[in-house]
Structure 1
Amino acid sequence: MKAIYNEQVIAESDNTVVIEGNHYFPADSVKKEFLTASGTHTTCPWKGVASYYNVTVNGEMAADAAWYYPNPSPLAEGIKGRIAFWNGVAVIK
């Protein structure tokens, strides 16, 4: 799987975990130079509290386009250390 924004591959892995239709990439497969921390946090009733990154490529920013669960609930332990994308970031095979 690949995560692409503004024609740039920002993550690539054959080892994603799919939950609720979202591919969670291993953190080490994500090019961190395209991510900046966002102050946004949301809560999922069964996964826990999510933190977000803005994704910026060639001066174009997609706000809160990547998220992760730093301390997922025991039910979602399989996505610890993984990052998912949306909000303008295409995830394709």
Structure 2
Amino acid sequence: MTQKPHSATVSMAGETLVAKLGAATIASSDRAMILEEVNGEKAYPPVVYFPLDDIDADALEATDHRTHCPIKGDASYYTVKGDGQRLENAAWTYRDPLPLVGAVKNYVAFYPGKVSVERA
């Protein structure tokens, strides 16, 4: 049996989505993208990426934290601030993503369970 390769697809969300930290809306966009990733037989939950331009500039503070994904590239992280909260490394971006996910350049994703994403 051949194992399925590690892959990812990026598509437009097709609706206006908002990201909230508590009661504070920190992002709202009709240009959000959905990244779906599969590693072998394991499918990860879809991740919503918001254009950096559609995120409240006061809600993000860059950190020194970095991670690497072999198909997406090097991720840089942000502390997310809003509604009196400050969550370190609760958002990430691929500033120079690998070609497979190049569409998410200048987009930011938020960790589920820390920042909620919902329909507007």
Q: Report the TM-score, using the length of structure 2 for normalisation.
A: 0.74
Does 1:5 pair with 2:31?
Answer: no
Aligned residues: CA RMSD: 1.1
SS in 2 for 1:71: coil
Report how far residue 35 of structure 1 moved.
0.9
- In the alignment, the residues of structure 2 paired with residue 70 and residue 90 of structure 1 have an alpha-carbon distance, to the nearest angstrom, of 23
- The runs of 4+ residues in structure 1 deviating greater than 4 Å are none
- 1:30 pairs with one of 55, 71, 88: 55
Question: CA offsets, 1:39-87, max 9 Å, x none?
Answer: 1111111000000000112431111111100000011111011111115
Contact 2:21–2:115 at 8 Å: present in 1 too? Answer: yes
Q: Report the TM-score, using the length of structure 1 for normalisation.
A: 0.94
Pairing of 1:46-61 with structure 2 (within 5 A): 46-61=71-86
- The sequence identity of aligned pairs, in percent, is 38
SS in 2 for 1:41: strand
**Structure having the higher Rg:** 2
Segments of structure 1 that go 5 or more residues without pairing to the other structure are none
SS in 1 for 2:102: helix
Higher relative contact order (Cα pairs below 8 Å, separated by 6+ residues) = 1
Pairing of 1:1-93 with structure 2 (within 5 A): 1-20=17-36, 21-86=46-111, 87-93=113-119
